Amino acid sequence: MNKEEILLAQKEFLFPSVFHYFKEPLVMTHAKDQYVWDIDGNQYLDFFGGIVTVSVGHCNDQVNAKALAQFDKLQHVSTVFSTEPQVALAKRLAQITPGGALTKSFFTSSGTEANEMAILAARCYTGASEIVALRHSYHGRSSAAMSLTGNSSWRLGGVPQPGFVHAHNAYCYRCPFGLEYPKCGVACAKDLDEAIRTTTSGRIAGFIAEPIQGVGGFITPPKEYFPIVADIVKKYGGVYISDEVQTAWGRTGGKWFGIEQWGVQPDVITSAKGLGNGTPIGVTIAKPAVADAVKGLTISTFGGNPIATTVAGAVIDYIEENNIRVNTAEVGGYLREKLLELQTRHALIGDVRGMGLLQALELVTDRGTKAPASAETNQVLEAAREARILLGKGGLYGNVLRISPPMNISKADVDNFVKALDESFAKVSAPVGVL
């Protein structure tokens, strides 16, 4: 099919909810390492990684060689039979979870399903049902996951499930209390106590949060936030679930999991995306007591699939063998410096935040009022496309540029990306000198 035929077929045969970036949709044909090519032969430097998913580069040779060999050996038998790739991956994950305390895995095919399983496990373990999530969060697209999600744009259908409440996140750039860190005393975290006492029965099954809120626009809390929150969750008997669909596998730099940056020991971790480098996989990893509470029958046909678990094992090996977590911290730090430099030259950039190779720019039309620059964000994205770089969008107001390249990029890639991003901003806003 040519480009026009693909776009016409998309319009005619796919749900319109399968939306695009860009006024004229971009049709992609192939990719390698940090690059993707469109159907017209243009090459793009990919700094979004298929929504924080291409963790170790497109079509990674080492990973794909293992996947292809597994395709020829055993593709699927379902979880009613035992296979080596599934248990080998589970064993490997048990070795790298925080404190080595989360040792039992349940595999699925997506982050949504991983969160569904975590909620089920928390309810089975505690005998309670209510779950606390955070405002500005995103947890997936099932009915329960949309009910967990704290962003109206992603809560379709109009009938959220009961039993979910939303506490304040730590959105320091737009503090819900109008306070300033650290003078605020992290009031947003302390408010969780009152939120549980006033909006639940006082007995909760669990609390779920992303260590850095991804779709919300890489909202990064101050270091005190999650330790305070975790103590309150414990006080009310809840299971602490860390949704690491975007923040795991070294993405935040140095550590395997984002929650480790905050020094909190979770009871359950959920993940997906980067674990498969583009091959569908989801996982719920729990402390044995929580996992063992899920009695009775539940099954995921594709869970633990030999191809997906072989790929995931290969991704973890690649990260380990190539010191990718260190690279992420170093190159991420370099990227952060360059983004802060950009902020001094482009008035649109109100906030620079994130960790490791998970960095965001929040755009505002006025740094005083912080009015969201939603239209300008789209203009920068269009200009970036012309400059042949890919990045993502997010935030409640659609005014956050999300940057999450493969974690095995170099500082030279960052230089190329930032130069192109600088040019893109220049097309949308006139540089205004040091602000």
Tell me which residues touch ligand PLP (CB under 6 A): 110-112, 115, 138-141, 210, 214-215, 243, 245-246, 272
Q: Closest CB to ligand PLP among 134 and 189? A: 134
Q: Nearest approach, Cβ of 119 to ligand PLP (angstroms)? A: 12
Q: Nearest approach, Cβ of 62 to ligand PLP (angstroms)? A: 24
Structure-token pair, residue 219: 């909202």
Q: Nearest approach, Cβ of 272 to ligand PLP (angstroms)? A: 4
Q: Nearest approach, Cβ of 117 to ligand PLP (angstroms)? A: 12
Q: Nearest approach, Cβ of 140 to ligand PLP (angstroms)? A: 4
Q: Nearest approach, Cβ of 397 to ligand PLP (angstroms)? A: 18
Q: Closest CB to ligand PLP among 98 and 140? A: 140
Contact between 271 and 245 under an 8 Å Cβ cutoff? The reply is yes
Q: Nearest approach, Cβ of 145 to ligand PLP (angstroms)? A: 7
Beta carbons within 8 Å of 333's beta carbon, 6+ residues apart? 253
Q: Nearest approach, Cβ of 112 to ligand PLP (angstroms)? A: 3
Q: Closest CB to ligand PLP among 259 and 414? A: 259
Closest C-alpha among 13, 56, 11 to residue 31? 56
Q: Closest CB to ligand PLP among 3 and 141? A: 141
Q: Closest CB to ligand PLP among 130 and 210? A: 210
**Three-state SS sequence of the chain:** CCHHHHHHHHHHHCCCCCCCCCCCCCCEEEEEECEEEECCCCEEEECCHHHHCCCCCECCHHHHHHHHHHHCCCCCCCCCCCCHHHHHHHHHHHHHCHHHCCCEEEEECCHHHHHHHHHHHHHHHHCCCEEEEECCCCCCCCHHHHHHCCCHHHCCCCCCCCCEEEECCCCHHHCCCCCCCCCCCCHHHHHHHHHHHHHCCCCEEEEEECCCECCCCCECCCCCHHHHHHHHHHHCCCEEEEECCCCCCCCCCCCCCHHHHHCCCCCEEEECHHHCCCCCCEEEEECHHHHHCCCCCCCCCCCCCHHHHHHHHHHHHHHHHCCHHHHHHHHHHHHHHHHHHHHHHCCCEEEEEEECCEEEEEEEEECCCCEECHHHHHHHHHHHHHCCEECEEECCCCCEEEECCCCCCCHHHHHHHHHHHHHHHHHHCCCCCCC
Q: Closest CB to ligand PLP among 117 and 204? A: 117
Around 185, how many Cα atoms within 13 Å sit in the side-chain half-sphere?
A: 3
Which residue number places its CB atom closest to ligand PLP? 111
Q: Closest CB to ligand PLP among 98 and 278? A: 278
Q: Nearest approach, Cβ of 368 to ligand PLP (angstroms)? A: 31
Q: Nearest approach, Cβ of 278 to ligand PLP (angstroms)? A: 12
Residue the block writes with tokens 């309670």? 128
